[in-house]
Structure 1
Amino acid sequence: MSPRPKVALDKNTIMIAAAELANEHGSEYITLAMLAKKLNIKPPSLYNHFDGLPGIKREMAIFSLQKLYISLAEEAEGKAHGDEAVLALSRAYLSFARTNPGLYEFALSAPDPADEQVHAAGKKIVELVVSAIGPFKLSEEDAIHAVRGLRSLMHGFASLEHKGGFGMPFDLDESYKLAVTALIRGLKKSS
C-alpha cells in the first residue's frame, strides 16, 4: 500500500471539505470518519484543528453564517434601503439555501446559540436586515418582529421548496417574490 499524499491541512481547508460534504449529502452526514476520508487523512489528524466533531459542527455553524452574510451583503450592496434592498436580500437568501443546502442547515442549527462567535455571526445578518428595513421607520421592537417575520417567510419557503412541497406548475420565484412583497406592504402600513 502506498503512503497517503501529504495534504496541507488548516481550518479553512477542513471547512471547505465539510461544506462540500454537507452540500452533497446533508449536515448530518458530517462525521470525523467521512471528513477524514474526503481529505485523505486519518481521523485523529482533525483533532489538531478542532475539539472533535462538536468543534467541527461549531465552526461549521460560524462558517455557514459568515457565508450567508457575505451572500446577503453582496446582493444588497449598492441597493437603496427599503423595498429594493429587502427584495434583494430575500433573493440572496433563497439562492443561498438552494445552492448550499448543507451550509444552510448548519446556519440554522448552531450547536450552542449562546456561543459568542455564533451569536456575533448571526447578529451581523440581523443588523443587515434591520438596516434594509430602516426606511419603514419601525420602532426597534417592531423591527425585530419584522426581521423574524421575514426570516420565517424566507426559511419556510426555502424549506418547503427543498422538501418538494410545491407541486403545482407555477413559477416558484414569482410566488416567493409575491410573498415577500406582501410582507413589505404590511411593514409599510404598520410604520
Structure 2
Amino acid sequence: MARAGLTADRLTRAAAEMADEVGFENVTVSALARRFGVKDASLYSHIRNAHDLRTRVAVLALAELADLVASALAGRAGKDALVAFASAYRDYAKRHPGQYTATQMALDPDVAATSAAGRHAELTRAVLRGYGLGEPHETDAVRFMHSTFHGYVSLERAGAFHGHPRGVDASWSRALDAVDTALRNWPD
C-alpha cells in the first residue's frame, strides 16, 4: 500500500535532491523508497521504473535550467547575453551537480519534444541573434557554445583545474571572451 502523500511530483523532486547529494547515477527506486521509509513497490503506482524516475529528474532539471537562463537573458544582447547565459548555466551546474548531470541525459524523442530541451536551443539561438549568424552557421554555433560550456563545467566539476595558481573564474572569463570573439568572427 502506498504511503499517503506520495505523488509523482514529490518523488521527482526528492530524486532530484538525491541526485545533487549522491550523484545522478545513484538515483534508484530502492534508494528513493528508503528515503521515504517505504518499500519499493509503494513507488510503482507513481513511477514506472528507474528509467522513468531519472527521466522525470532530467525533465525537471531542464525546465529549471531553462527558467534560470531565460531570466538571466532578459533585456540583454550580444556579449552581455552570452555571459549571462553561460553564467546561469555554470552556476546551475555548481549548485545542482546531480541535476546538471541529468540535463545531459538522452531523452526519448516523445519526451524531448514535450520537455524544456527545445527551450535551451531557442535560448541559445536568442543569444546568437546578436551575432547575426544564419544557418547552417547558427546550428554550428549552438553546438560550439554547448560544447564549450559543458566541457568547462565538466572539467571544473571533476577537479581538473585545481592546483594551478590561475583561478578558474579568471579562466572562465577569458573563455567567454574567446567564445565572443569566435562568434563575432565566425568563418563562412
Q: When the two structures are superposed, what TM-score results if normalisation uses the length of structure 2?
A: 0.91
Percent identity for Structure 1 against Structure 2: 30
Distance 1:51 1:12 in 2: 13
Count of paired positions: 185
- Alignment gaps of 5+ in structure 1: 1-5
Structure 1 residue corresponding to 2:82, chosen from 79, 83, 86: 86
Secondary structure of 1:147's partner?
Answer: helix
RMSD over equivalenced CA pairs, Å: 1.9
Amino acid at match of 1:86: L
Cα pair 2:13 2:57 within 8 Å, conserved: no
Distance 1:11 1:114 in 2: 19
Structure 1 residue 117, shift from structure 2 partner: 2.5
Runs of 4+ in 1 over 6 A off after TM superposition: none
Structure 1 residue 156, shift from structure 2 partner: 0.7
Distance 1:141 1:38 in 2: 48
Structure 1 residue 157, shift from structure 2 partner: 0.7
Aligned ranges 1:10-29 → 2 under 5 Å: 10-29=7-26
Structure 1 residue 7, shift from structure 2 partner: 4.5
Structure 1 residue 169, shift from structure 2 partner: 2.2
Amino acid at match of 2:159: G
Q: When the two structures are superposed, what TM-score results if normalisation uses the length of structure 1?
A: 0.90
Match of residue 180 from structure 1: 176
Cα pair 1:7 1:39 within 8 Å, conserved: no
Match of residue 129 from structure 1: 124
Amino acid at match of 2:40: P
Structure 1 residue 81, shift from structure 2 partner: 1.8
Cα pair 1:150 1:180 within 8 Å, conserved: no
Distance 1:162 1:30 in 2: 19
Cα pair 1:18 1:35 within 8 Å, conserved: yes
Deviations 1:35-93 (A, max 9, x none): 01112222112111111112112212211211111121121123x22111110000000
Aligned ranges 1:42-121 → 2 under 5 Å: 42-78=39-75, 80-110=76-106, 113-119=107-113, 120-121=115-116
